[in-house]
């Protein structure tokens, strides 16, 4: 995020009252978005949900599940008009640091092979592919695999 924007940028926990905004972003950026139920279930389960706002506008968010010494990044989304401006990196960095503070030693996530922007972001942060989940995601032509990525959280950089 540029220095000009950083004065207006706020990271804040997301809750039930933010679901409509999160859902609007989700529906705008994904052809197969999470449902309201996915967000509500994640919040009810106590998963860490954080949003990034610029001058009050929600520009992105993430949902993170902690289990023992692992963190699983379930969702990270940035509005289309704010992509490429560093918000995804800021959200990912926040998620990694939050996971580390929560005792996680490793972060895992799934990403579509067709999501070049997300794959580039994760590559920049040093995530490594450790597997493939076959036919994991809904897709226009049936199902799409998920690449399973991991990153040790001993140090958070990038």
Domain ranges of the chain: 3-109
Residue 92: exposure state from Cβ atoms within 10 A (0-12, 13-18, ≥19): buried
Query: Tens of pLDDT along 25-67?
Result: 999 999 999 999 999 999 999 999 999 999 999 999 999 999 9
Residue 149: exposure state from Cβ atoms within 10 A (0-12, 13-18, ≥19): buried
What is the fold, at CATH topology level, of the domain defined by 3-109? Answer: Aminopeptidase (3.40.630)
Encode the chain (158 residues) as per-residue pLDDT tens digits. 444 445 588 999 999 999 999 999 999 999 999 999 999 999 999 999 999 999 999 999 999 999 999 999 999 999 999 999 999 999 999 999 999 999 999 999 999 999 999 999 999 999 999 999 999 999 998 999 999 999 999 865 55
pTM score, whole prediction? 0.91
What is the C-alpha to C-alpha distance for residues 131 and 123, in angstroms, rounded to an integer?
Answer: 15
- The conformational region for residue 149 under phi > 0 = left, psi -120 to 50 = alpha, else beta, is beta
């Amino acid at each position: 995020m540029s220095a000009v924007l950083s004065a207006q940028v706020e990271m804040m926990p997301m809750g039930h009252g933010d679901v409509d905004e999160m859902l609007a972003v989700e529906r705008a950026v994904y052809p197969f978005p999470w449902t309201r139920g996915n967000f509500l279930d994640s919040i009810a389960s106590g998963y860490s949900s954080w949003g990034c706002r610029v001058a009050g506008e929600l520009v992105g968010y993430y949902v993170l599940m902690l289990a023992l010494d692992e963190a699983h990044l379930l969702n990270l989304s940035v509005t289309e008009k704010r992509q490429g401006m560093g918000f995804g990196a800021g959200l990912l960095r926040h998620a990694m640091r939050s996971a580390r503070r929560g005792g996680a030693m490793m972060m895992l996530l799934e990403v579509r092979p067709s999501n070049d922007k997300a794959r580039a972001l994760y590559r920049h942060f040093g995530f490594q592919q450790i597997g493939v989940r076959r036919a994991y995601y809904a897709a226009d032509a049936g199902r799409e695999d998920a690449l399973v990525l991991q990153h040790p959280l001993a140090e958070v950089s990038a």
